[in-house]
Every structure is written in structure tokens, then in C-alpha cells.
Amino acid sequence: MSRYTQKQIDKFHRQKYITEIEKISKNLFRMFRDTKVSSQEFTLKFEVLKRRLDEKEPLRLDSEYHQQLQEYIVRLYAETVACSHFDDKTLDTMREAEMSNLNRLQKLKNLSNYKKEKHRSRQQEEDWG
């Protein structure tokens, strides 16, 4: 007899997948920000991160932020690691633009409301007495 329901298992896999794509985005931003990172180091690290993501079963993502983040990772992988003419010069020219893209994605994540409107008004009433 199974200890967990299928819904719990699916939720666990979904959270693992989402955690992995967010981890990739943070690592990418860190590598783009650090000017000492060479194209070879970038490629090696990105390949490892992408391989770990590919090992997980792809899921349908409901959040617009996660959908766009997944598309961004796939696009960037094709433009960098899968591209034969990716070098230090190419990495340097794309740093600022890709950091801006990652910031835009982060802003999209921060747009979502964490508290419902009814809870906000209740908290304001408590604060102001």
C-alpha cells in the first residue's frame, strides 16, 4: 500500500522541477554578473544545470513566470552551449542584455500578490487601531 497519494507525489515533483529552474536562473545571473567567468566555465556550469533539469520529468507549468523562465532557459541554452561559435567575446556582449532579461523575469515573479485584499484591509485596521 502506498504511503502517499498520487496528488502528493505530483506536487512533490512539481516543486522539485520549479526549484530546479529557479536555481538555474540564479546561477545564470551570478555567472553573468561575474566578469571573471569565461565562456568555457559558463558552458560547463550551464550544461550541468541543464542536464539536472532534463533528468526531471517535464511538467505543465501554470505560472506565467515559470513558463517564461523555462522558455528563457531553453533559448539561452540553444544560443550558448548548443552553439558552436560561443566564445568569451560573445559572452561579454550578451552579459548586460541577459542580466536585464533575468531582472525582467524576476519582476514578473514579484508582481504576484501574496496576500488577498481582504487580509490587507484587516491588517491595516489592526495597525491603525
The amino acid occupying position 85 is: H
Q: Is the CA virtual torsion 23, 74, 31, 25 positive or negative?
A: negative
What predicted TM-score, i.e. pTM, was given to this entire model? 0.79
Which residues, 6 or more positions from 37, have their beta carbon under 8 angstroms from its beta carbon? 31, 91
* DSSP category for residue 57: P
Using DSSP, how many helices (H) and how many strands (E) does the chain show? 5, 0
Distance CA 9, CA 47 (A): 27
Q: How confident is the model at residue 125 (pLDDT cuts 50, 70, 90)?
A: low
Cβ(92)–Cβ(36) below 8 Å: no
- Per-residue pLDDT tens over the stretch 47-87: 999 999 999 988 888 889 999 999 999 999 999 988 888 89
User: Percent of the chain, pLDDT > 70?
Assistant: 84
Distance CA 119, CA 126 (A): 11
115 pLDDT above the threshold of 60: no
Cβ(20)–Cβ(70) below 8 Å: no
| Residue found under cell 538555474 | 24
Cα–Cα–Cα angle for 46, 77, 10, nearest 5°?
Answer: 80
